[in-house]
């Protein structure tokens, strides 16, 4: 099977990011992830990936900090020799109606979600361009496609990721590097677990499939876009949302 492939998943210590990393680990990839929260149990996380038979490099880094990101990428190349797939998953929300939204709430979301995607991608693509192959998957959101009250900052960041994805797909296609985006709908994560039952029921009633998705259902699509099964797909946005946005 030749050399093992390597995936870098930003924000891969929990939620969708962790599920994505586990999916790649199960399929024989080396795993590189960054985390920011100081209460992340790195050893425990490492064990989970090793149980799937994967080698994992887990580093603390802020995706908006060019130096820290380059350190992660350099260490990944040092250890594994390659980054074949990049999943730009790191993201936050700071919801508020625009009338009440502070500049800090706006800037922080745009910085981490959109600028972070730029910083990490820029650090990785020079290696992919040298190899003349690679796949980049950016996490957008149905909110970036259809908007949502109280999420102007988040919607703007996720819509920005769609424009970024399409432009970059055109830039890198001649080097055989594919760039796609995945736009999840309501997914069962820490973010949604705090919602009350009545709010969850209300959400489910608006989804044609009548339920929230699981992180694994998003990870399956991201895995598909990262490997050669999707070799003729680039510049696309795939909604994983139970039919919420059509």
In the structure, what pLDDT confidence band is assigned to residue 1 with cuts at 50, 70 and 90?
Answer: very low
- Between residues 115 and 38, the one the model is more confident about: 115
pLDDT of residue 38: 79
In the structure, what pLDDT confidence band is assigned to residue 2 with cuts at 50, 70 and 90?
Answer: low
What percent of the chain lies above the pLDDT cut of 90?
Answer: 93
CA–CA separation, 205 and 201 (whole Å): 6
Please state the domain extents for the chain.
6-240
Q: Which residue has the tokens 């988040």?
A: 154
pLDDT of residue 3: 83
Mean pLDDT (the chain, rounded): 96
Summarised one tens digit per residue, pLDDT across range 140-187 is 999 999 999 999 999 999 999 999 999 999 999 999 999 999 999 999
DSSP lists the bridge partners of residue 239 as 183
From residue 60, give the alpha-carbon distance in Å to each of 1, 11, 44, 205, 224: 31, 10, 15, 39, 27
CA–CA separation, 134 and 124 (whole Å): 10
From residue 1, give the alpha-carbon distance in Å to each of 4, 29, 82, 108: 8, 12, 15, 43
In the structure, what pLDDT confidence band is assigned to residue 39 with cuts at 50, 70 and 90?
Answer: confident
From residue 145, give the alpha-carbon distance in Å to each of 44, 69, 158, 234, 244: 36, 28, 8, 18, 11
Q: Does the pLDDT value for residue 14 go beyond 50?
A: yes
CATH topology of domain 6-240: Rossmann fold (3.40.50)
Pick the catalytic residue from 24, 35, 127, 154.
Answer: 154
- Is residue 154 part of the annotated active site? The answer reads yes
pLDDT of residue 37: 85
Q: Which residue has the tokens 């929230």?
A: 212
């Amino acid at each position: 099977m030749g050399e093992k492939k390597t995936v870098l998943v930003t924000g891969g210590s929990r939620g969708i990011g962790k599920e994505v990393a586990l999916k790649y680990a199960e399929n024989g990839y080396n795993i590189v992830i960054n985390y920011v929260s100081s209460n992340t149990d790195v050893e425990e996380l490492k064990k989970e990936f090793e149980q799937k038979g994967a080698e994992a490099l887990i580093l603390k880094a802020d995706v908006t900090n060019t130096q820290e990101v380059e350190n992660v990428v350099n260490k990944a190349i040092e250890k594994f020799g390659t980054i074949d797939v990049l999943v730009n998953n790191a993201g936050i929300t700071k919801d508020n109606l625009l009338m009440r939204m502070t500049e800090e709430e706006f800037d922080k979301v745009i910085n981490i979600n959109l600028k972070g995607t730029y910083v990490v991608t820029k650090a990785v693509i020079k290696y992919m361009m040298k190899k003349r192959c690679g796949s980049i998957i950016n996490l957008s959101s149905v909110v970036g496609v259809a908007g949502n009250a109280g999420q102007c900052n988040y919607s703007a960041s996720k819509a920005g990721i769609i424009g970024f994805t399409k432009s970059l797909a055109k830039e890198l296609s001649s080097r055989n590097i594919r760039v796609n985006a995945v736009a999840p709908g309501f997914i069962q994560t820490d973010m949604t677990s705090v919602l009350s039952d009545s709010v969850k029921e209300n959400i489910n009633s608006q989804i044609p499939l009548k339920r929230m998705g699981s992180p694994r259902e998003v990870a399956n699509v991201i895995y598909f876009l990262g490997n050669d099964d999707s070799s003729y797909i680039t510049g696309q946005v795939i909604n994983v949302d139970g039919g919420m946005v059509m």
